[in-house]
Amino acid sequence: MTAVADRSRDGRSAAARRRRYTAELAGVLPASEPFETWRAAGGDLAPDFARLPARTGLWSPVEGLPAGPAGAAGWAARRAVLRARWRRWLTGELPPAPRRTPVRVERVRTGGGVVVRELTVGGSTVGGEWSVRARLLLPVPAAGVRRDVPVYLLQSSHGPWAEAALARGWGACLVSAADGDDDTVAVERAHPSVVAGRLAWRAWALSRVLDALQDAPGVDARRVLVGGHSRNGKTALLAAASDDRFAGVVSSSSGVLGAIPARLCTDRHFGEGVELLTRHYPGWYHPRLRWFAGREHRLPTDAHELLALAAPRPVLVSVAVEDPVERVPAARAAVDAAREAYALLGRADALELALRPGGHTADETAVAAQLDWATSVLGGPPRRRAPATAAPSPLPWPPDRVRPGPRPVRGAELRAAVRAALGPAGRTVPRPRVAGEGPLRTPDGVAVTLLSPPGGGSGRGLVLWLGPPCAATGWRAGYEQAEPLPALLAAAGWTVACHDPVGSGSRHGERPGPGSSPLGRMTADAAAVAAVAASATGHDRAWVAAYGTGALVALHLSAVGEVPPAGLVLAAPTCGEPLLRARPGYTLADLLAAVADRPAVVLDPAWDPEAPPGAVAAACRAADVPRVPLPDWHRLSAATRSAMAGWLDAHGPPPR
């Protein structure tokens, strides 16, 4: 490629852009010693993001393939492309499978109706010897009977899962490739020229143990299921994606870049996010993944393609509705997108999403449900599945509705346009109040939590906190984050009113009423919460602190005019979530103009996947609302929280 062809519209060369992106990220990324060590040893510059597609949503893993037999015939080539993407951007390259994998049976013992074989699987390379230990557990067959059983292949931290499989008449194999019992560290040392993430090495080890099971007596090698929970669930998916011999996969709470797409569970969703993932667990993936912090929408691949790589084999994606590591909407989107690969291959029903109650742990009931599913899909009696229900299909906020439109939309015209886009609130029948009930509630039964200043009382003023709807934790959103903004404001002397948005936290099973929209319901709830909180505290009006989706809620609340706020501090007032009943006939600039007559400010991150470059700045200029640029990505960082608290301190009532 020539130097001329390698320049984008901004006139910079690819090398210059990569140096600029590297400098930008180096200035805002929290410290990560392993990442810095990799960079110092000659690691890559940041990618040329301008040349990577910007996709805030998911795409079809079979894009470019025709429907029908011709598309199915092209799946092998397409799958090779997807595998290459994962190796290039996420896992790193691993050694090829050896021609022969030696295995030694170190010890055999029998007890409690189970035969236990202690195995050592290993080989040698130019870097030295390598080995992985495994424990194969098989039910003792009846006298004179030879029976090959399906095997649940697990990492060694899943002992209770193995016991549950044995109770079903299955075998189980526990591999020393888990936290606290990890032979892959030594395996990696035996391959000094290979740079790959720890989870990829563990997946490679699972495949080497599968090599050993191919001829193991008592094992039905055609029915080896691989599974795992949390990081082990990530590993199980990686193993199946690269090794077609696994008969199926159980992915339990596997989180971001397991079954959850990184671009749908970011900092701006109060999810795990690439930055947190690569800082807390720097060895899991290839170091270059950290460059995508805040730019997850530029990742050339994502979790739905990992799920698709297992097609057409059965996969169970188990997600807990109150797990802060995951987002149920993101899991649904991943499964729906990946299912296109299964449908192409005639197995659309082989990929299943199972929601379970509770948080991140998988209890006995969850494991039993996994084995019910596995028995069914690997040759047992079919299960009775609940009929699928049609999910509502709200529209996302359009990126072209951020900049000012061809003409301003104001006053009554704006209010009418807002109502058309949001639909009716879809109010429900008020829930009867229970005697002695603690929290305040709106007439529709939405619980209101008031955070009080340290000294008690109503404080210097009332702040209505509106954040993104975090499906697992509601208004308390913030997986592994620092002090939440509501607590920070309460410590500064404010009374802060909080509530779970529809579809999140205590309301995760609630949906907007007929004809309504998520944003319509959120706006109505915010108005009711503000009114209830004002009455309870004696304050006549509330100030608003809002981020992301919550900032859009605040602006729609102001535009409708039911409960005008005293002032607003809005961080990153953009959102790509499906929120609307209809495409809005107004823009962000029109909404901002409705608050220009009161104290207001917009904190605008330097790179925002939900808005075209410069669009928020243009909207603020058109509305005459102050804007503060942030040298950061779309997230509620500690610096942004401090800036929001500082603005309220400067513009709100003085401390009492």
What value, to the nearest 5°, has the Cα angle with vertex 302 and ends 296 and 306? 160
Res 7 pLDDT > 60 = no
Res 6 pLDDT > 50 = no
pLDDT of residue 562: 79
Q: Which element (helix H / strand E) includes 477?
A: none
Bridge partners (DSSP) of residue 173 are 136, 153
Q: Which of 13-27, 359-373, 505-519, 635-649 bottoms out in mean pLDDT, i.e. has the lowest?
A: 505-519
Phi and psi at residue 616, to the nearest 5°: -65, -40
Burial 499-511 (b: 16+ CB within 10 A, else e): bbbbbbbebbebe
Reported as a pLDDT band with limits 50, 70 and 90, residue 2 is: very low
Res 10 pLDDT > 60 = no
Residue 240, number of CB atoms within 10 A of its CB: 29
> Tokens 């409708």 map to which residue?
560
Phi and psi at residue 140, to the nearest 5°: -70, 120
CB 317 within 8 A of CB 251: yes
CB 91 within 8 A of CB 85: no
Mean pLDDT of the chain: 91
What is the total residue count of the chain?
Answer: 656
Report the C-alpha gap between 568 and 462 in whole angstroms: 12
pLDDT of residue 429: 40
**H helices, E strands: number in the chain:** 19, 21
Q: Give 352-389 pLDDT, tens digit per residue.
A: 999 999 989 999 999 999 999 999 998 766 666 655 55
Calculate helix-pair angle for 411-422, 518-537, nearest 10 degrees: 110
CA 57 to chain centroid, in Å, comes to 12
CB 272 within 8 A of CB 284: no
Q: Give 297-349 pLDDT, tens digit per residue.
A: 999 999 999 999 999 999 999 999 888 888 888 999 999 999 999 999 999 99
Q: Please state the rounded mean pLDDT for residues 467-484.
A: 74
pLDDT of residue 468: 85
Burial 345-364 (b: 16+ CB within 10 A, else e): beeeebbbbbebeeebebee
pLDDT of residue 3: 36
pLDDT of residue 196: 95
pLDDT of residue 475: 87
Q: Give 383-405 pLDDT, tens digit per residue.
A: 666 555 555 578 999 999 999 99
Res 484 pLDDT > 90 = no
Res 45 pLDDT > 70 = yes
pLDDT of residue 392: 56
DSSP 284-347: SS-GGGGGGTT-GGG-S--HHHHHHTTTTS-EEEEEETT-TT--HHHHHHHHHHHHHHHHHTT-
The contacts of residue 226 (CB under 8 Å, 6+ apart) are: 153, 154, 206, 236, 239, 240, 246, 248, 249, 250
Res 5 pLDDT > 50 = no
Report the C-alpha gap between 486 and 333 in whole angstroms: 30
623: tokens are 């509305």
CB 600 within 8 A of CB 420: no
598: tokens are 């009161």
% of the chain with per-residue pLDDT over 90: 78
Report the C-alpha gap between 654 and 656 in whole angstroms: 6
What is the side-by-side order of every strand in the sheet holding 103-111? 103-111, 114-125, 128-139, 171-175, 149-155, 219-229, 248-252, 315-320, 351-356
DSSP 540: S
Q: Identify the burial level of 434 via C-beta atoms within 10 angstroms of its C-beta, where 0-12 means exposed, 13-18 middle and 19 or more buried.
A: exposed
Q: Please state the rounded mean pLDDT for residues 629-653.
A: 94
DSSP 62-93: TTTPPSSHHHHHTHHHHHHHHHHHHIIIIIB-
Reported as a pLDDT band with limits 50, 70 and 90, residue 427 is: low
> Tokens 């709200």 map to which residue?
394
pLDDT of residue 557: 95
Question: Domain spans of the chain?
Answer: 409-427+440-476+484-650
Q: Give 520-564 pLDDT, tens digit per residue.
A: 999 999 999 999 999 999 999 999 999 999 999 999 999 998 788
Reported as a pLDDT band with limits 50, 70 and 90, residue 434 is: very low
Q: Which of 11-20, 173-182, 264-273, 435-444 bottoms out in mean pLDDT, i.e. has the lowest?
A: 435-444
Q: Please state the rounded mean pLDDT for residues 70-88.
A: 97
Q: Please state the rounded mean pLDDT for residues 580-594.
A: 97
Whether CATH 3.40.50.1820 fits 409-427+440-476+484-650: yes
% of the chain with per-residue pLDDT over 70: 93
Question: Which stretches does DSSP call E strand in 399-516?
Answer: 440-441, 447-451, 462-466, 495-498
Q: Please state the rounded mean pLDDT for residues 56-71.
A: 95
pLDDT of residue 425: 78
Res 646 pLDDT > 50 = yes
pLDDT of residue 481: 61
pLDDT of residue 128: 83
Burial 183-211 (b: 16+ CB within 10 A, else e): bbeebbebbeebbbbbbbbbbbbbbbbbb
Res 436 pLDDT > 70 = no
Report the C-alpha gap between 239 and 251 in whole angstroms: 11
pTM score: 0.92
Region of residue 340 (left: phi > 0; alpha: psi -120 to 50; beta: else): alpha
CA 653 to chain centroid, in Å, comes to 39
312 cis-preceded (ω within 30 degrees of 0): yes
pLDDT of residue 356: 93
Q: Which of 78-92, 214-228, 404-418, 420-434 bottoms out in mean pLDDT, i.e. has the lowest?
A: 420-434
Reported as a pLDDT band with limits 50, 70 and 90, residue 103 is: very high
The contacts of residue 554 (CB under 8 Å, 6+ apart) are: 464, 466, 526, 544, 546, 565, 568, 570, 573
Selection from 67, 185, 77, 51 nearest residue 131 by Cα: 185
pLDDT of residue 324: 85
Reported as a pLDDT band with limits 50, 70 and 90, residue 236 is: very high
Radius of gyration in angstroms for the set of CA atoms belonging to the chain, rounded to a whole number: 27
